Amino acid sequence: MSSIDVGKKEAVNWILENIPLDATCLDVGACDGKWAQLVGMHLEMDAIEIFPKYVRRYKLENKYRRVYLADIRRFKYDHYDFIIFGDVLEHMTVEQAQEVLAYAKDHCDQILIAIPFLWEQGPIRGNPNEVHVQDDLTPELFNERYPGFKPIFMSAQYAYYVRDDL
């Protein structure tokens, strides 16, 4: 499902101020391609999406340079300047998300994470991957589970984080 709009303006402004023009970017869990619409004109964007119906329904191949139909937990890539995890980590176990982030840190320069707090969610539009496995996340638990990130926007229900270990 597409991420919510809370904090999007602040996240887009942060990207425009901190990520070089034409940087390579991987949009993880692209869904409807919202990030391509928001910043795609400034970046060389690829997408990875696990659910085939989203790739077709939202015509992701028209929004991104390349679209990978794959699971980020098993997807290997060489290097991206910037990776967006927009509403992705909560769909994995803590261990899986930690592994995905550790791999990303070794294969990119900067990371943006969008994450909901205390948000229960089941399957949506027939997509079993939409279930929130980590529906217990709070800012404190996020910091404990995923050190090395700092918030650039935070509300009671949602936050955006970037790497703080560079």
Q: Does domain 21-163 have CATH number 3.40.50.150?
A: yes
User: What's residue 126's pLDDT?
Assistant: 72
Kindly list the domain boundaries of the chain, sorted by start residue. 21-163
Amino acid (one-letter) located at 55: V
Rounded Cα gap, residues 40 and 46, in angstroms: 9
**Contacts of residue 87, Cβ cutoff 8 Å, sequence gap at least 6:** 1, 3, 4, 29, 31, 114, 115, 116
User: What's residue 140's pLDDT?
Assistant: 97
- Given its phi and psi angles, is residue 98 left (phi above 0), alpha (psi -120 to 50 degrees) or beta? alpha
Beta strands at 66-69 and 158-163: parallel, antiparallel or unpaired? unpaired
Average pLDDT of adjacent 10-residue blocks, the chain of 166 residues: 76 97 96 96 97 94 98 97 94 95 98 85 61 78 96 95 88
Report the sign of the C-alpha dihedral through residues 148, 152, 156, 157, in that order.
negative
User: What's residue 1's pLDDT?
Assistant: 45
User: What's residue 133's pLDDT?
Assistant: 56
